[in-house]
Amino acid sequence: MKKRRSANQHSDISFDEDFLSASPQSRTAYRVALRQAEAVLLRDYALLTRCYSGAEAADLAEEIGGLEVCPEEGRGLESTLDLVGSSILRHSVVVSDPTCVGHLHCPPLIPALAAESLISATNQSMDSWDQAPAATYLEQRVIDWLGEALKLGTQADGIFTSGGTQSNLLGLLLSRDDFIQRRLGWRSQEKGLPPNAGKMRILASANAHFSVQQSAAILGLGQDAVVPVATDQLGRMDVAVAARFLDALTAQGLLPFAIVATVGTTDTGSIDPLSALADLADQWSAWLHVDAAYGGALVLSHRFGNRLEGVGRADSVTIDFHKLFYQPISCSALLVRDRRAFDTIRLRADYLNPEENEQAGLLDLVTKSIQTTRRFDGLKPFVSLHSVGRRRLAAMIEGTIDLASSTAAMIRDDPILELAMEPFLNALLFRYRPDGVPEAVLDAVNGTIRSRLLISGQALLARTKFSGRVFLKVTLLNPRTERHHIETILTRVKQAGDEAMLMF
């Protein structure tokens, strides 16, 4: 590191090469750093030919547990990146591999990776306009576009969040406070929860994401405030059952205030009947929150967009860009039909977003967020959408849905495999199931199949339960996955199953 005497005489060390700036040393150091990172990423990750290295968890814990985190003297970036490449990147899940089909874990678009470099380098903080002048308005523009695409109306608004869990939490927070203020005449922001908050109830599908219960607990209502509604044979919330629950809850003196609909359940991709649930919510003056973290990207598709019919009537909608919009983690948003819904969480700080800012026409996004410091994540979908375009992105999504249908047909036609149900989106459940094998043995065998394929690096499948039994899960987010990859995976499943059967 070069040394010089600074103008203020406080230090004889120059830090120009440590931070991005206009100085020649800085620009040179930045270019070198990016080249070194690119070389390691390509060598130790992009060129990997399996979805996972096969390293055992215990071995990784031992190796990484021995790394020195903060040496007294730095080891240099090139040496450090080489260490990261060999110890971390080589043992990471390769999300772009066609056999990495376990979870709602997408391969990110290359334009989004370029955007990530701009986000990290500029380090804009999205809480106040003076920390993110242009970024503030670009993020709001993306939110406005999304509100229009979802047909939420002219009063729609929203905010970027860290993920679907936080979006669901924010949506239910707004619904809770809206009900408490509108129906109970109480302001929870100042007074906390009212005495009868313990009677408040949320209706959600029995297949809804666990974050609905988690949110109820965080919001002081308790997990028991969530009433699970039975689903039909296709995994969708049964509207007639929900209506009976509303009658029964009210008769018991309880206070149902929100209905959570799901567009794309995690295991089967089922989509709840949005229009019918919107009718029910209107009838009961309940808040309709739509968790479209998974399936919201259908808004880009002319072929499948009608599956979102009714979403524009929701009071709030969760959208995850880091699923079928193919963005790097994290990137999500919470949209509301009426921008005034954010008023219940609005707060001001003199040092951050004083009232004078609003009077001057400045936009401070922190008033809509439960985060203060927040990344400029809105740049990623903008760069991706603008550079790739709707048509190509829709083709990616549509191709994965078509592949899921083909995969379901392959499983149906195989006497050794069992399909749980027809896929709604691009996730489906199946299991290895030869005739005459007891259910308990099948559970163990299918769990073993999943582990063997992962550790061997042959395929990454997820494991879940359906109707109380162990099933394997395939989530076809990756547009690079083709029919021949699926054929190979199914063959490997059967081979691993045959081998596992010898253990029982």
pTM of the model as a whole: 0.94
What six digits make up the tokens of 209? 């994401």
Same domain, 284 and 376: yes
Same domain, 215 and 303: yes
Q: How many CB atoms lie within 10 A of CB 492?
A: 18
- C-alpha span between 109 and 381 (Å, rounded): 10
Same domain, 302 and 220: yes
Same domain, 344 and 464: no
What six digits make up the tokens of 398? 């549509």
- C-alpha span between 29 and 224 (Å, rounded): 55
Model confidence band, residue 10 (pLDDT cutoffs 50, 70, 90)? low
- Terminus-to-terminus CA distance in the chain, angstroms? 63
Domain boundary among the residues 350, 385, 420 is at 385
Model confidence band, residue 5 (pLDDT cutoffs 50, 70, 90)? very low
Domain boundary among the residues 385, 401, 428 is at 385
Digit-coded pLDDT (tens) for 480-494? 999 999 999 999 999
- DSSP codes, 29-56: HHHHHHHHHHHHHIIIIIT--SS-----
Q: Answer yes or no: is 247 within a domain.
A: yes
Same domain, 314 and 445: no
Digit-coded pLDDT (tens) for 144-164? 999 999 999 999 999 999 999
Beta strand pairing status for 316-320 and 332-336? Answer: antiparallel
Digit-coded pLDDT (tens) for 348-365? 887 777 778 888 888 999
Letter for the amino acid at 342? F
How far does Cα 182 stand from its chain's mean position? 31
CB 227 within 8 A of CB 204: yes
Same domain, 376 and 455: no
Same domain, 364 and 451: no
Same domain, 349 and 403: no
Same domain, 203 and 157: yes
pLDDT value for 440: 97
Helix (H, G, I), strand (E, B) or coil at 170: helix
Burial zone of 151 (CB within 10 Å; 0-12 exposed, 13-18 middle, 19+ buried): middle
By residue range, what is the domain housing residue 167?
124-385
Same domain, 223 and 289: yes
For residue 330, is the peptide bond before it cis, meaning its omega torsion is within 30 degrees of 0? Answer: yes
Digit-coded pLDDT (tens) for 304-329? 999 999 999 999 999 999 999 999 99
Same domain, 358 and 397: no
Q: Which CATH number is 162's domain given? A: 3.40.640.10
- C-alpha span between 471 and 401 (Å, rounded): 20
Q: Answer yes or no: is 303 within a domain.
A: yes
Strand partners, 336: 157, 316
Closest residue by Cα to residue 147 from 134, 159, 135: 159
Q: Which CATH number is 432's domain given? A: 3.90.1150.10
Q: Which position has the token pair 């290359």? A: 110
Q: Please name the residues in contact with 175: beta carbons below 8 A apart, sequence gap of 6 or more.
A: 257, 258, 287, 289, 315, 316
Average pLDDT of the residues in 106-110: 98
Same domain, 186 and 335: yes
Q: How many CB atoms lie within 10 A of CB 34?
A: 12
